[in-house]
């Protein structure tokens, strides 16, 4: 095991900010793991993930496994001999992967855990009219988003801020939080703490956005409608259907 070597795992633009922050901080990113190239656009041509594109620009080795449990991929990880894995907006990892490095595997989540566990924490925080949210680094365990907390940073949400605008701020702040976390782990002076027991109070959740979630309900008050529009911007966008006599007149 090489004491300072790190494997970074991520796919979308949100993860690129953390990769940039780690490289610029001088951390030893030995390899990057991301999703395989996928067909995209009208021509259905293969397109690399945002993380792969950036890793290639930085000259970093890139691994793109189809199956995370494949012997070939696990052998590649062992050859890298990293001390720590860092995960940002990637797939759910099997234990045979996250339990591999001696210093463990950490993840960045876009909320102040344990609130807003799930796939869409930024959207739901805005939809629910929260005034603050944050980012959390934590150790990956068996259940999603439940591992011991390492660092958290609170982030205010503007009254008219959209989910897209908040996303762009949070990915930068999140990257900085990951750098501090990694440095603390490598130095051996960062301790973790268990997440708050859900039995102590009701927790806000952040499931994947479904089409009905984006539907405007005009029996709600003006603040709730405003927050839903902000929380669904820019994607997938809030919508409504006007009907008269059962006939739909339009949707937007």
For residue 73, is it within any domain? yes
**CATH number of the domain where residue 124 is located:** 3.40.50.170
93 in a domain, yes or no? yes
In whole angstroms, give the CA distance from residue 34 to residue 51: 7
Arithmetic mean of pLDDT, 18-28: 99
pLDDT tens readout for residues 129-184: 999 999 999 999 999 999 999 999 999 999 999 999 999 999 999 999 999 999 99
Helix (H, G, I), strand (E, B) or coil at 190: coil
3-state secondary structure of 132: strand
In a domain, 119, yes or no: yes
DSSP 8-state class, residue 139 = E
Residue 232 within a domain? no
CA angle 59, 171, 215 (to 5 degrees): 125
Cis omega before residue 236 (within 30°)?
yes
* Dist CA 236 CA 152 (whole Å): 28
**Contact between 101 and 78 (Cβ < 8 Å):** no
What total number of domains does the chain contain?
Answer: 1
**Is residue 240 within 8 Å of 251, Cβ to Cβ?**
yes
**pLDDT confidence band for 198 (50 / 70 / 90):** confident
**pLDDT tens-place string over residues 211-229:** 999 999 889 999 999 999 9
DSSP letter string, 45-57: EEE--HHHHHHHH
* For the chain, percent of residues with pLDDT exceeding 90: 87
Residue of 111, 115, 215, 84 lying closest to 166 (CA atoms): 111
Q: What is the pLDDT of residue 191?
A: 94
* Residue 245 domain-assigned (yes or no): no
Task: Summarize pLDDT for 70-112 with one digit per residue, the tens.
Answer: 999 999 999 999 999 999 999 999 999 999 999 999 999 999 9
Whether 205 is in a domain gets the answer no
Segments forming the whole domain that contains residue 63: 5-200
Is there a domain that residue 50 lies in?
yes
- Please tell me the distance from the alpha carbon of residue 15 to that of residue 235, in angstroms, as a whole number: 18
pTM metric for this prediction: 0.93
47 lies in some domain = yes
DSSP result, 214-242: GB--TTS-HHHHHHHHHHTTTTT--B-EE
């Amino acid at each position: 095991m090489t004491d300072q070597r790190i494997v970074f795992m991520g796919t979308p633009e949100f993860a690129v900010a953390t990769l940039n922050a780690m490289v610029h901080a001088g951390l030893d990113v030995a390899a990057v793991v991301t999703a395989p190239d996928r067909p995209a656009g009208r021509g259905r041509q293969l397109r690399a993930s945002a993380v792969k594109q950036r890793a290639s620009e930085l000259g970093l080795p890139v691994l793109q496994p189809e199956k995370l449990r494949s012997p070939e991929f696990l052998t590649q990880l062992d050859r890298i001999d990293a001390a720590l894995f860092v995960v940002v907006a990637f797939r759910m990892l099997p234990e045979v992967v996250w339990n591999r490095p001696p210093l463990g595997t950490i993840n960045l989540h876009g909320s102040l855990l344990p609130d807003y566990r799930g796939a869409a924490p930024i959207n739901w925080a805005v939809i629910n009219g929260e005034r603050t949210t944050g980012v959390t680094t934590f150790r990956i365990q068996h259940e999603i988003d439940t591992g011991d907390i390492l660092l958290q940073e609170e982030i205010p949400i503007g009254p008219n801020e959209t989910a897209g605008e908040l996303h762009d701020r949070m990915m930068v702040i999140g990257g900085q939080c990951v750098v501090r976390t990694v440095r603390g782990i490598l130095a051996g002076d960062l301790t973790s703490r268990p997440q708050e027991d859900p039995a102590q109070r009701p927790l806000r959740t952040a499931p994947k956005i479904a089409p009905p979630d984006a539907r405007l309900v005009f029996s709600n008050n003006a603040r709730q409608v405003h927050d839903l529009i902000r929380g669904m911007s820019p994607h997938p966008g809030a919508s409504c259907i006007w009907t008269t006599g059962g006939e739909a007149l339009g949707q937007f």
